[in-house]
Amino acid sequence: MPKSPYPTLAGQARALRDGQHSATALAEEALARAADPAGEGARVFIKRYPERARAQAQAADTLRQAGLARSAIDGLPISIKDLFDVAGDVTLAGSVALRDAAPASRTASVIQRLEAAGAVIVGRTNMTEFAYSGLGINPHYGTPRNPWDRAAGRIPGGSSSGAAVSVTDGMASAAIGSDTGGSVRIPAALCGLAGFKPTARRVPMDGVLPLSASLDSIGPLAPTVRCCATLDAIMAGEDERAIPEPVALRGLRLAVPTTLALDGMDETVATAFQDAVRRLADAGVAITEIAVPEFAELAAINAKGGFSAAEAYAWHRALIARAQAAYDPRVVSRILRGKDMSAADYLDVLAARAAWTQAVNARTAGFDAMLMPTVPVVAPLIDALSAADEAYYGANGLILRNPTLINFLDGCALSVPCHASATAPVGLMIAARAGEDRRVLAIGMAVEAALQMD
């Protein structure tokens, strides 16, 4: 595929440094795109921050003029998913059930870190209600349309739906989302962006409305892997010098799991994935197909709802008791599965996860990372999935399938665009064990560069 069509963080930072642009101008452009009635802004943002963004941009310009740029994202417009607390705002999480809730008294730590680095926060992005679906459909605030085949109206992927479209449509330079079962990687894959899911404990979750405390993680959606690495370092509280450089591809050992992960690919995804694997092999990567039978066991482990249903129900049960009618029925029905899980059921999942993770890690121990399609199909039509429960739940299960494997593994993973020009976006997932975040980002940079060579 060609290089990203979207401006990179590094390129925009250079333009600010060289005086070609100002943070104020970038903010005004992003805000104008978000407010354009002919665009997707009304569906992308649940709340915009024009005054806050202008003040932050002016501060960035003033500091830069004094030679005091704070970071590689100082003065760049960033969007945040609607589940991060911002002091003084009610955190709605894409729902209407929380409209009468008290406003947050403190801004989430991850947002504080971004603002301290000079991020210009342009607004809170739309999402699947309470982050509980991989499709991005929201009946309360509308569904942002995928930038590909927009006239037909295709899903953006979820749950970080508005996050992806805010970047593709120039309303933000990058976006911050959450990933419990693929909610960063899925919209990144379906919209043609890079998306990174870090090891869950890498970025602090305080001030973030939870879906599943055992699986939630915070990650960026951005034009390139290096953009993701820059944001990840800031959110993880690391020095920017911790951002890795690309690895050498020759001699890299990558595993392609043949169990489950390659099932159900449509023709576009299969062609893009096979071409990406071929390109990497031509670049000297040692690619081995391996069976991972544990992948086929995960559905049975989570048959009663798994961590997501149990932990979501524990958080939502009081709200459901008083406001169930305000929920998206397709969301609340999944949360209510947790009501029927016993403490013993939950402990069974905990024990199964530990054994399953140990087995998968042992099976993949000889490899630097795994490769698989992020999503096995291109973005379906919004109307088709909205019209029928069978279509909605079938697509949701298929689209979440591969990313969910890595959340249950407590691993880290990237989605990197791998489609050909002028075709539907397709994501290539690069995944590894817990704690190997910088290694995965370094591999991702090298893979991205190889796939962009014509």
| pLDDT above 70 as % of the chain | 99
Residue 83 lies in a domain: yes
Cα separation, 165 vs 221, in Å, equals: 10
Cα separation, 25 vs 345, in Å, equals: 54
Q: How do residues 25-67 score in pLDDT, each as one tens digit? A: 999 999 999 999 999 999 999 999 999 999 999 999 999 999 9
| In the block, residue with structure tokens 């602090």 | 204
Residue 185 lies in a domain: yes
Residue 2 lies in a domain: no
Residue 169 lies in a domain: yes
Residue 120 is which amino acid? V
Residue 360 is which amino acid? V
In the residue annotation, 183 being an active-site residue is answered as yes
Q: What pLDDT does residue 2 have?
A: 61
**Residue 383 pLDDT class (50, 70, 90 cuts):** very high
Q: How do residues 204-227 score in pLDDT, each as one tens digit? A: 999 999 999 999 999 999 999 999
Cα separation, 156 vs 188, in Å, equals: 9
Check if the beta carbon of residue 187 is closer than 8 Å to that of residue 142: no
Residue of 71, 81, 214, 308 with catalytic role: 81
Residue of 183, 217, 308, 415 with catalytic role: 183
- Our measurement of the distance from residue 79's CA atom to the centroid of its chain's CA atoms, rounded to an integer in Å, reads 13
Pairing of strands 369-373, 427-432: antiparallel
Check if the beta carbon of residue 437 is closer than 8 Å to that of residue 202: yes
Cα separation, 74 vs 82, in Å, equals: 22
Cα separation, 26 vs 16, in Å, equals: 9
Residue 4 lies in a domain: no
Whether the pLDDT of residue 349 is over 90: the answer is yes
CA distance to 134, 396, 397, 417, 453, per residue, from 393 (Å): 10, 5, 6, 25, 38
In the residue annotation, 339 being an active-site residue is answered as no
Give the bridge partners for 79, in sequence order.
123, 175
**Omega cis (within 30) before 173:** no
| Tokens describing residue 53 | 């963004």
Q: How do residues 227-238 score in pLDDT, each as one tens digit? A: 999 999 999 999
Q: Determine the average pLDDT of the residues in 72-76.
A: 98
Range list of H helices, 364-436: 382-387, 389-408
Check if the beta carbon of residue 398 is closer than 8 Å to that of residue 134: no
Residue of 109, 159, 173, 415 with catalytic role: 159
CA distance to 211, 318, 326, 347, per residue, from 96 (Å): 16, 15, 6, 33
Q: What pLDDT does residue 453 have?
A: 72
Whether the pLDDT of residue 94 is over 80: the answer is yes
Helix and strand numbers (H, E) in the chain are 16, 11
What residues make up the domain containing 183? Answer: 9-301+329-451
**Taking all residues of the chain, what is their mean pLDDT, rounded to a whole number?**
97
Q: What are phi and psi of 142, to 5 degrees?
A: 85, 165
Q: What pLDDT does residue 1 have?
A: 63
Cα(first)–Cα(last) distance of the chain, in Å? Answer: 7
Cα separation, 179 vs 405, in Å, equals: 12
Whether the model clears a pTM of 0.75, i.e. scores above it, the answer is yes
Q: What pLDDT does residue 224 have?
A: 98
- Sign, Cα dihedral of 136, 142, 146, 150: positive
Q: What pLDDT does residue 187 have?
A: 98
Query: Which CATH number do you get for residue 363?
Result: 3.90.1300.10
In the residue annotation, 166 being an active-site residue is answered as no
Residue 31 lies in a domain: yes
**Residue 241 pLDDT class (50, 70, 90 cuts):** confident
Residue 214 is which amino acid? S
Q: How do residues 165-197 score in pLDDT, each as one tens digit? A: 999 999 999 999 999 999 999 999 999 999 999
Kindly write down the DSSP assignment for every residue of 19-58, as one continuous string.
TSS-HHHHHHHHHHHHH-TTSSHHHHEEEE-HHHHHHHHH
What's the domain count of the chain? 1
Residue 260 lies in a domain: yes
Give every CB contact of residue 165 below 8 A, 6+ residues apart in sequence: 40, 43, 44, 144, 145, 146, 147, 156, 171, 191
Q: What angle do CA 211, 354, 108 make, to 5 degrees?
A: 30
Pairing of strands 218-222, 120-125: unpaired
- Our measurement of the distance from residue 448's CA atom to the centroid of its chain's CA atoms, rounded to an integer in Å, reads 17
Q: How do residues 99-138 score in pLDDT, each as one tens digit? A: 999 999 999 999 999 999 999 999 999 999 999 999 999 9
Residue 309 lies in a domain: no
Check if the beta carbon of residue 87 is closer than 8 Å to that of residue 105: yes
Pairing of strands 77-81, 174-178: parallel
Q: What pLDDT does residue 454 have?
A: 61
Q: What pLDDT does residue 3 have?
A: 80
